Chains A and B, each alone.
Chain A
Amino acid sequence: GESVGLHLPTLSVQEGDNSIINCAYSNSASDYFIWYKQESGKGPQFIIDIRSNMDKRQGQRVTVLLNKTVKHLSLQIAATQPGDSAVYFCAENNFNKFYFGSGTKLNVKP
């Protein structure tokens, strides 16, 4: 499958601060992306998605940015809370299959 990678394996932030998690993808033909949150021992939980005809999409406390020029995705979490501590993955849809990046562990310090 295509390679979808992340710049930072671990991110530590203070509670209340904003978090930014990055992801690089390699297939310029990919047209759909999803961010997932995974807590230990559980399946991934859908956070937010974005299609390639958009460059920004906002949800509740989360924003995804897509830069197709440099094939880069980011997930912004506003006012990060302890419950946000988890591993975050971006997933790229390629030929109707989803391939996952390596993940970033988010640690929220109280």
Chain B
Amino acid sequence: GAVVSQHPSRVICKSGTSVKIECRSLDFQATTMFWYRQFPKQSLMLMATSNEGSKATYEQGVEKDKFLINHASLTLSTLTVTSAHPEDSSFYICSASPGANTNEKLFFGSGTQLSVL
């Protein structure tokens, strides 16, 4: 299957700092990537859709100024959690599809565990 790489796998930061998470498609190009958030023992919640060369689209209730997304190339999307607070602590996962459109198999990165102190 297609490989999606996510970095870092774990980050601990102080409250008020910003954290950047990278998501790369290693063996395919992805015009669209998706960012999910997962709390312990809960499901994945779609946060936003990252579109190469254009603005990301955010799900209802997700603050776009809080979670900045940049999709500068066909193989890289970044999520920046700005001014992180303890309630932002969560497991963040990116995903992408190697298909021509987004109604194809979706592959996931290994996730980033963010802990805000």
Contacts and interface: CB of A to CB of B under 8 A. Distances in A.
B57 to A, nearest CB: 9
Main secondary structure of the interface of B (DSSP, over half): strand
Interface stretch (A11-19, A62-70, A74-82, A97-105): A97-105
A91 B106 CA distance: 10
A85 interface: no
Contact of B43 (A42, A45, A97, A101): A101
B46 A43 contact: no
Main secondary structure of the interface of A (DSSP, over half): strand
Interface residues of B, number: 27
A50 B101 CA distance: 16
Interface in A34-54: 34, 36, 41-46, 49
Contact of A43 (B32, B103, B109): B109
A41 to B, nearest CB: 7
B53 to A, nearest CB: 17
Contacts of B109: 43
Contacts of B34: 97-98
B43 A89 contact: yes
Contact of B103 (A31, A42, A89, A101): A31
Interface of B: 1, 4, 6, 32, 34, 36, 42-46, 49, 59, 91, 93, 95, 101-103, 105-111, 113
